[in-house]
Amino acid sequence: MSIDPHQADPAAWLAEQRRHAPSMLKRLLLTALADAPLAILQAALLAWLAANLLAGQGRLWTPALLLLLTLAVRALAGAARARFSSGAAADISLAVRERVAAALLRGAGGTMTPGEASTALLEQAEAVGRYHAGFAVQRRVASLATVLFLVAAFAVDWVVGLIFLCTAPLIPVFMMLVGTGAQRAADRQLESLRFLGGYFLDRLRGVLTLRAFAREQAERDGVDIANGEYRRRTMKVLRIAFLTSAVLELFAALSVALVALYVGLHLLDLVAFGPGPKLDFGTGLWLLLLAPEFYQPLRQLAAGYHDRAAAQSAAQVLAPLLADPADPDTDPGPAAPTANRPNALTLEGVGFGHGDGEPLFENLDTSVAAGQCLVLRGDSGTGKSTLLKVIAGLLPANGGRVLHDGQPAPQLARADGRLAWAGQHPWFVHGTVADNLRLVAPDADDADLERVLEDCGLGALPAGLATPLDENGGGLSGGQGRRLALARALLSPAPLLLLDEPTAELDEDLEARIVATLAARKGHRTLVIATHSPALAALGDHSIWLGGVSHD
Ligand SMILES: Nc1ncnc2c1ncn2[C@@H]1O[C@H](COP(=O)(O)OP(=O)(O)OP(=O)(O)O)[C@@H](O)[C@H]1O
């Protein structure tokens, strides 16, 4: 994946995502904060009721009714909290998912594999929502609730307050200790999921080829291995999560036992410190009931700790992806076309090489006026398609620059209809020929569509405009598919057309027709054509030879 993880600060980006559900998160926080005072009240009412029962006093209705009321309010607050929590998680995940989808459509994902893209859209967007509705809220709730419980405990018995104060930090300290390991395990799990997603998708796409070569069993074994690795890494994350909660349960249980021991000894007058005679049965029971409630928010915080690790791993990928300047939140939109349009296309010292290898081409200079035709020629593999991609902004030039109308070239996906592309392996939507043509000209009538099909030698399709096809062009021959892509580019209103071998593998008559069609478009559109065909190359006002050797 070509995303630079240093483009954006993942931690700041992650924190910022709470803006997608501000009111839901506020309501969630309020209902979550209500739990601690209600727990203190519930424990007090229960202790009051028990003390009155034990003392045989008649005032049972008041504490019993108040207790029922508190239990009901607490249950309602819990239900509301669950509702707001799932609502906030869904809102945030949806907003992040929409932005990820838009970024991927703009081409911001660079060379992300399909598996990486689908993981970003599904699991990683989900992890961000889960973190904000879970751990991030619980962190604030736990700190405020802890202070409230401590104040209540210290106000009644400083020894119990001290036990709470000394044992509470054990939980966050332990969480920090396991934190690095948990983060590493979450990263590795996510990496494995991304790999598995891509691997599985690739095999599904190529299932017919695999079957033809009798490779099903070998590939099934491959999927099993990838799946086993994902399972192993998931189990590691779960092991850390379960182990963490088990240790935290132990801390909490020991601390509750300590409070119980102190209260018991005190009630038996076996300890000589603490508030002394003031600690009666009711107060002792209240403190005892308070103890598990005191550790509850911290335990919930710890339980959500692996959600935090998952969200941080997700942010490492999503933050740079969404830091693309064309993000709807940050992009002011494409620059308005300039009134002065001296050149439709200029290459200034353009060079490109894949990775660290030898440059495919360098120092290319040319200036193509609006309405002219630039032809790219050269032997197979010399870089014609690559140069088209650089001109389209699908690949970044390693040197020099490409100017469209005097402006730095936009990426194809962000060109806002200023350029159209017909590649060697065109993509179609699942539908009819008409559906695919109307992608670029929604208002075109059938006569317009039939005319452009005729121009591209597709006048005799079996079902005409209603001919069905799938996304790989299935339903048409390879040559027909490429000509349909050409027809789509011609139908689009884009002033600059980038065409990759539009006459490849055509017989002479069809080639002549395409050449005539493009000749008729010259003057109205600027054409850049990669081709091996001398007839098509003859249209060029300018040509670039790649590979250095001209065979003309
Ligand atoms: N993603 C990539 N990574 C590394 N090398 C690549 C990549 N894509 C293409 N190449 C290499 O770049 C070179 C130029 O490829 P390109 O498709 O631009 O050639 P071309 O001139 O259009 O060929 P043809 O006429 O056969 O279509 C080839 O040698 C190819 O192997």
* Top mutation candidate among 1, 356, 360 for ligand 1, by most atoms within 8 Å of CB: 360
Question: Are 214 and 285 members of one domain?
Answer: yes
Residue 336, in any domain of the structure: no
State residue 349 phi and psi, 5-degree precision: 60, 35
Give residue 387's pLDDT.
93
Identity at 380, one-letter amino acid code:
S
Please name the helix (run of DSSP H) or strand (run of DSSP E) that holds residue 416, with its range, or none. none
Report the alpha-carbon distance of residue 512 to residue 509 in Å, rounded: 5
Choosing from 322, 357, 385, the residue where a domain stops is: 322
Residue 82, in any domain of the structure: yes
Q: Which domain covers residue 350, as residue numbers?
A: 345-545
Whole-number Å distance, alpha carbon 385 to ligand 1 midpoint, is 7
Residue nearest to atom 31 of ligand 1 (CA): 381
Question: Are 293 and 353 members of one domain?
Answer: no
Residue 23, in any domain of the structure: yes
Residue nearest to atom 5 of ligand 1 (CA): 354
Partners of 402 in beta bridges: 347
- Residues 445-469 as b or e (16 or more Cβ within 10 Å = b): eeeebbbbbebbbbeebeebbebeb
Residue 328, in any domain of the structure: no
Whole-number Å distance, alpha carbon 353 to ligand 1 midpoint, is 10
- Yes or no: say if 240 and 305 are a contact pair by the CB < 8 Å rule: no
Whole-number Å distance, alpha carbon 470 to ligand 1 midpoint, is 26
Q: How many domains does the chain have?
A: 2
Q: What is the CATH number of the domain that holds 185?
A: 1.20.1560.10
Identity at 224, one-letter amino acid code:
D
Residue nearest to atom 27 of ligand 1 (CA): 380
Give residue 1's pLDDT.
44
Whole-number Å distance, alpha carbon 547 to ligand 1 midpoint, is 12
Whole-number Å distance, alpha carbon 549 to ligand 1 midpoint, is 17
And the tokens for 498? 């980038």
Report the alpha-carbon distance of residue 488 to residue 481 in Å, rounded: 11
Whole-number Å distance, alpha carbon 386 to ligand 1 midpoint, is 6
Whole-number Å distance, alpha carbon 380 to ligand 1 midpoint, is 8
- Yes or no: say if 198 and 115 are a contact pair by the CB < 8 Å rule: yes
Question: Are 123 and 189 members of one domain?
Answer: yes
Question: Are 420 and 517 members of one domain?
Answer: yes
Give residue for tokens 């049965």: 281
Question: Are 363 and 488 members of one domain?
Answer: yes
Give residue 24's pLDDT.
95
Neighbours of 536 (CB within 10 A): 26
Question: Are 315 and 371 members of one domain?
Answer: no
By three-state DSSP, how is residue 466 classified? helix
Give residue 377's pLDDT.
94
And the tokens for 322? 């969404």
Report yes or no on whether pTM surpasses 0.90.
Answer: no
State the closest ligand 1 atom to the C-alpha of 354, by its place in the atom list counted from 1.
Answer: 4
State the closest ligand 1 atom to the C-alpha of 532, by its place in the atom list counted from 1.
Answer: 25
Give residue 439's pLDDT.
86
Question: Are 41 and 113 members of one domain?
Answer: yes
Residue 365, in any domain of the structure: yes
Q: What is the CATH number of the domain that holds 472?
A: 3.40.50.300
- Residues 516-533 as b or e (16 or more Cβ within 10 Å = b): ebbeebeeebbbbbbbeb
Report the alpha-carbon distance of residue 214 to residue 257 in Å, rounded: 65
Residue nearest to atom 10 of ligand 1 (CA): 354
Residue nearest to atom 1 of ligand 1 (CA): 354
What is the predicted ipTM? 0.95
Residue nearest to atom 25 of ligand 1 (CA): 380
State residue 246 phi and psi, 5-degree precision: -65, -45
Report the alpha-carbon distance of residue 193 to residue 174 in Å, rounded: 28
Whole-number Å distance, alpha carbon 545 to ligand 1 midpoint, is 15
Residue 332, in any domain of the structure: no
Give residue 4's pLDDT.
44
Question: Are 431 and 508 members of one domain?
Answer: yes
Residue 340, in any domain of the structure: no
Question: Are 505 and 428 members of one domain?
Answer: yes
Residue nearest to atom 24 of ligand 1 (CA): 380
Report the alpha-carbon distance of residue 203 to residue 209 in Å, rounded: 9
Residue nearest to atom 30 of ligand 1 (CA): 381
Residue 291, in any domain of the structure: yes
Give the helix, strand, coil percentages of the chain, each rounded to 5.
Answer: 60, 10, 30
Question: Are 119 and 166 members of one domain?
Answer: yes
Give residue 274's pLDDT.
64
Question: Are 287 and 350 members of one domain?
Answer: no
Question: Are 249 and 387 members of one domain?
Answer: no
- Yes or no: say if 135 and 23 are a contact pair by the CB < 8 Å rule: no
Ligand 1: residues within 6 Å at CB? 354, 360, 378, 380-386, 530
Whole-number Å distance, alpha carbon 382 to ligand 1 midpoint, is 7
Give residue 469's pLDDT.
85
pLDDT one digit per residue (tens) for the chain, 552 residues = 444 444 578 999 999 999 999 999 999 999 999 999 999 999 999 999 998 888 887 678 888 999 999 999 999 999 999 999 999 999 999 999 999 998 887 767 766 777 788 888 888 999 999 999 999 999 999 999 999 999 999 998 888 899 999 988 887 777 777 777 777 888 888 888 878 887 888 888 778 788 888 888 888 888 899 899 999 999 988 888 788 778 878 888 888 899 999 888 888 877 776 665 667 888 889 999 999 999 889 888 877 877 888 899 899 989 988 885 555 555 444 444 443 343 478 999 999 988 777 888 989 999 999 889 999 999 988 999 999 989 988 788 888 889 887 777 766 555 567 788 898 888 888 889 998 899 888 888 899 999 999 999 888 888 889 988 877 777 788 888 889 999 999 998 888 899 999 988 888 888 999 999 999 988 888 999 999 999 999 999 999 998 864 545
By three-state DSSP, how is residue 421 classified? strand
Choosing from 291, 322, 353, the residue where a domain stops is: 322
By three-state DSSP, how is residue 426 classified? coil
Choosing from 290, 322, 354, the residue where a domain stops is: 322
